[in-house]
Structure 1
Amino acid sequence: MASGFRKNQVAVSTLFQVCVWWTLALYYGATFGQEVEARAYSNAPIGLNFASAGIAQASSGSYTLTSEVTSFTHILDINGQSGKISLIIPYAELTGSKNVNSQTINASTNGFSDPVLKASINLYGAPALDSEEFKSYQQDLIVGASLNASIPWGSYSNQQLINVGANRWFIQPGVGASQAIGPWRLELEGAATIFTSNTSYIGSNTFSENPIYSTQTHVIYYFPSTAWLSIDTTYFIGGQAFVNGTPINGSQENWRFGSTFSYPIDKHNAIRLSASTGISSRTNNSFDLLGLSWQYRWGPGL
């Protein structure tokens, strides 16, 4: 199997970037598939719950990844400050083809992808409040921290080059701040994504990856109806990959630009539209993404 891997190393390195950045598109955002995530650090009444379901589609060249994602979020009191915990469960379908050395490589796979657990705590500026107390809350500066992790339960076969499951863990610690200026919110976030190794990559090979470091900025405007619109930018660097200790690509680098619009239907329901695109990529790993989701919220005071 190792010799077979070496014969196909060109194909592996060509398709690797597609795999990595579709994984980013699928996992690194709360808006069901967008890694550019606004409002990661904000305040909400304790006990409030959010459930959402949506669909997102990422495309890169002739490849298309469609993901249907459900998520659940609960707001809780953590030592007097508000925090939240979320579970994200994605299902994905991947189709496409690519010519490598005059040979067409087809990709078609589907199944449940790795679920993601997300936890965050506001360290300053977002006190734990019930629904009545929250009515008089006015945001100023919020500072928070987060920890996200994937669980390698998704569909995976070591006989396939491309899978919707990664067969490895990642953990992603992060910090961020949100400053209110009238109806505007200015946000800045930073994170590091650390990966374990996949020891069953195309047989019994070992796939490993250096950490990916990212920063995000968001400019958000709140309308009087409580609808909001965000303009988002993110930057990723790192993620050089290895098979059996041998590099198969260089360090990744990507600038992305996106926007999200959330519109409340009533006090329980809201719809959300999101889009993002690569605006600069040093390693040809850009993709375009569109998403639509429905969110339902319930809890004390609603």
Structure 2
Amino acid sequence: MRQWKLACLCLFTMMISGQVHAGEAGARAYANAPVGLNVMELLYFQSETSGGAFNSTTKAGMLRYYRYFELFGQAALVGGYIPYASAYITIPALGYYEQVKGISDPTFVIGMDFFGAPAVSFQEFCDYRQDLIIGGSLQVIAPFGRYDKTRILNPGGNRWVFKPELAISQAINDWIFEIYGNYHYFSRNHQYLGNLIHDQKGRWGVDAHISYTLKPGMWVSFDYLRQWSGETSINTRPQGDKVRNTTIGFTANIPLFKSNAIQLEYRDDVKTRSLSQSRSFSFRFQQMW
């Protein structure tokens, strides 16, 4: 029974990490922007998982900042964000309940468009029109969040995560078609439940987005996400928890004023390897200058 509980909570720990950090780049993440643009975001995220062996809820608030600059004549950005997370899990068959809250692991990202997004000033950006963009990014999650090695659930993961990604974005009139390919590499946690070693194989992912511009700054997107692999092990013993998820969702970006916007996202698992399914919603407020 203890082994079953470990497997359930090990899977949930993976889910917290992915949910809190909202691992996907999102629609129009590689769109061009003027050099020198600063963006500050306040984000609220909530996810619920039900079915299978456990039920869970994760809530997080995040502060995010990034800045655009020129790199080899193309647009690039650097930034990061810090989440504060609250999560709880119940396993009805075991009568088990646990709750955790605290600062999660910070995330840092650097991205660059290799083709199709020339570095431009604010004045020049008014005349820019997207065609084909090819870009890439590297996201790094650092193990600086709250972590207690005596607990199974923690806001922090006590491990490094690296996510390289390549992206293609094609604009056709008011439509933009995008596809991203990414890979998550996880370092080992040598302090899992004290002195156990928690390891996870790499996880592959493909994100696709079809978005339509309603008017300048206002757009909606249909989102498709696919992830697979990423099995975990404890002291080299496989846990049989490979990921094979298909998720769909929608995104809406709504400008408020010249330098403000809000963005709404909804995600729903339509196919998973396990019996559990997750639904999530996020709201973000953007301030640009």
Q: TM-score range by the shorter chain?
A: over 0.9
Q: What residue number does 2:32 align with?
A: 43
Question: Matched residues in 2 for 1:119 and 1:179: separation?
Answer: 21
Q: What residue number does 1:153 align with?
A: 144
Q: Shift of residue 283 of structure 1?
A: 2.3
For residues 24-103 of structure 1, what are the structure 2 equivalents within 5 Å?
Answer: 24-29=18-23, 35=24, 37-61=26-50, 62-100=55-93, 103=94
| 2:102 maps to amino acid | G
1:11 equivalent to 2:9? Answer no
Give me the TM-score of the superposition, normalised by structure 1: 0.92
State the SS of the aligned residue for 1:133.
helix
Question: Matched residues in 2 for 1:210 and 1:203: separation?
Answer: 21
State the SS of the aligned residue for 2:15.
helix
Question: Matched residues in 2 for 1:162 and 1:60: separation?
Answer: 15
| 2:38 maps to amino acid | N
Q: What residue number does 2:222 align with?
A: 231
Q: Shift of residue 285 of structure 1?
A: 4.8
Q: Deviations over 1:275-302 (max 9, x none)?
A: 101010112353110111110000xxxx
Q: Deviations over 1:163-222 (max 9, x none)?
A: 110000000111011000001100000000000000000010000000000001000111
Q: Shift of residue 27 of structure 1?
A: 1.3
Q: Deviations over 1:117-167 (max 9, x none)?
A: 011100000000001111111110000111000010111111111111000
Q: What residue number does 2:246 align with?
A: 255
Q: Shift of residue 230 of structure 1?
A: 0.8
Q: What residue number does 2:17 align with?
A: 23
- Asked if the contact 2:136–2:164 (Cα under 8 Å) also holds between the matched residues in 1, the reply is yes
Q: What residue number does 1:215 align with?
A: 206
State the SS of the aligned residue for 1:223.
strand
Q: What residue number does 1:32 align with?
A: none
Partner residue of 2:124 out of 120, 133, 157: 133
Q: Shift of residue 42 of structure 1?
A: 1.0
Structure 2: segments with no counterpart, 5+ residues: none
1:105 equivalent to 2:124? Answer no
Q: Shift of residue 36 of structure 1?
A: 6.4
1:180 equivalent to 2:206? Answer no
| 2:74 maps to amino acid | Q
Question: Matched residues in 1 for 2:266 and 2:176: separation?
Answer: 19
| 2:125 maps to amino acid | F
| 1:75 maps to amino acid | Y
Question: Matched residues in 1 for 2:29 and 2:262: separation?
Answer: 18
Identical pairs, percent = 28
- Asked if the contact 2:46–2:281 (Cα under 8 Å) also holds between the matched residues in 1, the reply is yes
Structure 1 stretches of 4+ moved >4 Å:
none
Q: Deviations over 1:248-282 (max 9, x none)?
A: 12321000001111100011111111110101011
Q: What residue number does 1:3 align with?
A: none
| 1:190 maps to amino acid | G
1:168 equivalent to 2:159? Answer yes
Q: What residue number does 1:4 align with?
A: none
| 1:11 maps to amino acid | K
- Could you say if the C-alpha distance between residues 212 and 175 of structure 1 is closer, same or farther in structure 2, counting changes exceeding 3 Å? same
| 1:90 maps to amino acid | P
1:200 equivalent to 2:194? Answer no
